[in-house]
């Protein structure tokens, strides 16, 4: 193994614990060839060294999780280590074995096909973080793929991971985005037109990257001893407060996963995020957003919209179905851990509790988005449902609608205004003003009247309500066209837009004078441009 160059104090002090590989069963074979891996939680494999790694950007906030300074992150060693070119002595690199249901069908073994874990560190606050390189080369789980990643998908994951964190959405984190100095051939839309694209690697962080599919694979193969080993490891490492593993503790653990998953779905719906590929192998047992593939932000409010070209017919993973899909995925996890519990009823109750927890969370979230003090079913159920029926009638920018709604004055003279005057503060949020028919204008104005009446019951000042609404409704989200503009610039050797977007997305709820262009509606030129609306799984 190559000896790393001289390092700074913090890089040298990274404390690797590597509990996952110390405790769980390893693949007995060491050869890095595509194959089925049985009876093992992981295979040891090292990243493929790259030609000429070049740092595009790093996240200072994510770096603090590893106790790394700016000097560390801008060092040559940092770029070499987090591109996979060099390994630190205490790293124990591996790819995990897991399966999964993809688009509702069992897919068998999947695994880390282009993600390689460098190991787990314990930081100065005694927090555990797993470091993972995405796009670092082939593993035994790569199937027919090359294990690499291109700039466009890597940049999107890097920026969105950090954007979601600052939005308050549970997520894996992104430490760095590094160009490999090599090209990768990809057919973006699987239409027989491949091209060479810049290769890139993201280093991402999470307490662990354990997914629902990590458990599914062992139950599907009847490898129940390994299933229990993995469950016991997960509980003792991440839920030690639950006590020694037992059927009751396994059930408590599953209940916790159901709760955190429900909370995650509420957050996604709050900010208008659509994951695009909610397969069970893309569901974290920590309730984190994981695997940023063909995701998108709900610009035109259409609950049936999916950003994934592969899902364009079935819309399985569209915005409006995400909570239901999460429930289905949890049911697959319940099936996987059933052998550890041996009873169906408590698992079914946990799934029922998921639904109740989500419903309560969603109601409270929608009330907060509207600036209400609290959700009151008799007053708010129909008010919210009518709004959700109105929004899809014309192309309405979801993010901007709720920001502008906060500016609506509690004007007692509103009844004397024309319908057009009443909706005037919202006209800037519509993509096609010609869709604003007389009937639609009347319907929206009537809803605004009811909304003002409901607000009067809370007896808040306009200033207080605006502050509360702007604290939950972001102004800045990583719209797909913004990410594409950054990709275009990096391909030309200009990294400035990545840094500027990273800075803007650190403060998504603030006004940020001079940055308003990043909060504008999707421009018309981006409506159908590749990368600016729908995306494929190609990466």
Structural tokens at position 495: 């990294």
Give the 3-state DSSP-derived string for 406-472, with helices as H, strands as E and coil as C.
CCCCCCCCHHHCCHHHHHHHHHHHECCHHHCCHHHHHHHHHHHHHHHHHHHHHCCCHHHHHHHHHCC
Q: What is the pLDDT of residue 10?
A: 74
CA angle 85, 86, 92 (to 5 degrees): 115
- Count Cβ atoms below 10 Å from residue 15 Cβ, excluding itself: 12
DSSP per residue over 56-83, as a string?
EEE-HHHHHHTT--HHHHTSHHHHHHTT
Q: What is the pLDDT of residue 190?
A: 63
Q: Which has the closest alpha carbon to 257: 176, 326, 343, 342? A: 326
- Count Cβ atoms below 10 Å from residue 215 Cβ, excluding itself: 26
3-class secondary-structure state, position 384: helix
- Count Cβ atoms below 10 Å from residue 385 Cβ, excluding itself: 11
Q: What is the pLDDT of residue 535?
A: 79
Tens digits of pLDDT across the chain (539 residues):
445 445 566 787 799 999 999 999 999 999 999 999 999 999 999 999 999 999 999 999 999 999 999 999 999 999 999 999 999 999 999 999 999 999 999 999 999 999 999 999 999 999 999 999 999 999 999 999 999 999 999 999 999 999 999 999 999 999 999 999 999 998 776 667 788 999 999 999 999 999 999 999 999 999 999 999 999 999 999 999 999 999 999 999 999 999 999 999 999 999 999 999 999 999 999 999 999 999 999 999 999 999 999 998 999 999 999 999 999 999 999 999 999 999 999 999 999 999 999 999 999 999 999 999 999 999 999 999 999 999 999 999 999 999 999 998 877 666 677 888 888 889 999 999 999 999 999 999 999 999 999 999 999 999 999 999 999 999 999 999 999 999 999 999 999 999 999 999 999 999 999 999 999 999 999 988 888 877 766 55
Q: What is the pLDDT of residue 9?
A: 67
Whether residue 183 contacts residue 198, with contact meaning beta carbons closer than 8 Å, is answered with yes
Q: Which has the closest alpha carbon to 254: 202, 308, 212? A: 212
Whether residue 183 contacts residue 55, with contact meaning beta carbons closer than 8 Å, is answered with no
Nearest-angstrom CA–CA distance, 82 and 86: 8
Q: What is the pLDDT of residue 417?
A: 78
Whether residue 281 contacts residue 251, with contact meaning beta carbons closer than 8 Å, is answered with no
Q: Where do the domains of the chain lie?
A: 9-213, 391-459, 480-526
Active-site annotation holder among 72, 232, 281, 397: 281
Longest C-alpha distance within the chain, in Å?
A: 78
Nearest-angstrom CA–CA distance, 159 and 147: 21
Q: Which has the closest alpha carbon to 528: 481, 491, 490, 477? A: 481
Q: Which helix (H) or strand (E) element contains residue 177?
A: strand 173-186
Catalytic site includes residue 281: yes
pTM score above 0.75: yes
Q: Please list, residue by residue across 304-327, b when 16 or more beta carbons sit within 10 angstroms of its beta carbon and e when fewer do.
A: ebbbbbbbeeeebbbbbbbbebbb
Nearest-angstrom CA–CA distance, 155 and 537: 14
Q: What is the pLDDT of residue 4?
A: 46
3-class secondary-structure state, position 530: coil
Query: Strand 115-122's sheet: what is its strand order?
Result: 42-44, 94-96, 115-122, 128-134, 195-206, 173-186, 54-58
439 backbone dihedrals φ, ψ, rounded to 5°: -65, -40
């Amino acid at each position: 193994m190559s000896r790393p160059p001289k390092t700074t104090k913090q890089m040298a002090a990274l404390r690797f614990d590597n509990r996952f590989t110390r405790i769980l069963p390893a693949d007995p074979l060491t050869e890095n060839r595509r194959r089925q891996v049985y009876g093992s939680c992981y295979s040891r494999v090292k990243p493929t060294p790259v030609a000429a790694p070049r740092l595009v950007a790093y996240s200072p906030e994510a770096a603090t999780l590893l106790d790394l300074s700016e000097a560390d992150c801008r060092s040559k060693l940092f770029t070499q280590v987090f591109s996979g070119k060099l390994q630190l002595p205490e790293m124990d690199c591996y790819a995990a074995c897991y399966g999964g249901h993809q688009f509702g069908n069992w897919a068998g073994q999947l695994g880390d096909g282009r993600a390689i874990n460098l190991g787990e560190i314990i930081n100065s606050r005694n927090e555990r973080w797993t470091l993972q390189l995405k796009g670092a080369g082939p593993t035994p789980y790569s199937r027919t793929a090359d294990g690499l990643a291109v700039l466009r998908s890597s940049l999107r994951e890097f920026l969105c991971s950090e954007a979601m964190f600052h939005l308050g959405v549970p997520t894996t984190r992104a430490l760095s985005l590094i160009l490999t100095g090599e090209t990768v051939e990809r057919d973006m839309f699987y239409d027989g037109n491949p091209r060479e694209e810049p290769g890139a690697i993201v280093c991402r962080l999470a307490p662990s990257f354990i997914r629902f599919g990590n458990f599914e694979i062992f139950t599907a193969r009847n490898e129940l001893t390994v299933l229990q080993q993995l469950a016991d490891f997960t509980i003792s490492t991440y839920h030690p407060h639950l006590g020694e593993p037992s059927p009751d503790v396994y059930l408590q653990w599953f209940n916790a996963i159901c709760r955190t998953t429900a909370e995650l779905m509420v957050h996604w719906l709050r900010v208008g995020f659509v994951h695009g590929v909610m397969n069970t192998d893309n569901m974290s047992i920590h309730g984190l957003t994981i695997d940023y593939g063909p995701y998108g932000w709900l610009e035109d409010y259409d609950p049936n919209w999916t950003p994934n070209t592969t899902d364009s017919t079935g819309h399985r993973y569209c915005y409006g179905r995400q909570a239901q899909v999460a429930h289905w995925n949890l049911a697959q996890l319940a099936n996987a851990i059933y052998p550890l519990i041996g009873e169906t009823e408590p698992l079914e109750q946990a799934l029922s509790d998921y639904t109740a927890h989500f419903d309560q969370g969603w109601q409270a979230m929608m009330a907060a988005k509207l600036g209400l003090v609290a959700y009151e079913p008799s007053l708010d159920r129909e008010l919210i449902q009518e709004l959700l029926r109105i929004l899809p009638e014309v192309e309405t920018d979801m993010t901007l609608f709720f920001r502008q709604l906060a500016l609506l004055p509690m004007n007692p003279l509103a009844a004397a205004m024309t319908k057009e005057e009443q909706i005037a503060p919202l006209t800037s949020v519509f993509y096609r003003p010609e869709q604003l028919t007389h009937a639609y204008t009347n319907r929206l104005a009537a809803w605004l009247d009811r909304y003002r009446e409901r607000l009067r019951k809370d007896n808040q000042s306009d200033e207080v309500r605006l502050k509360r609404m702007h604290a939950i409704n972001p102004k800045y989200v990583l719209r797909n066209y913004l990410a594409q503009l950054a990709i275009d610039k990096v391909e030309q050797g200009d990294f400035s837009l990545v840094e500027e977007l990273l800075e803007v997305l650190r403060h998504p709820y603030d006004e940020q004078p001079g940055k308003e262009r990043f909060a504008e509606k999707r421009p018309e030129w981006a409506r159908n441009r590749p990368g600016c609306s729908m995306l494929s799984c190609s990466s």
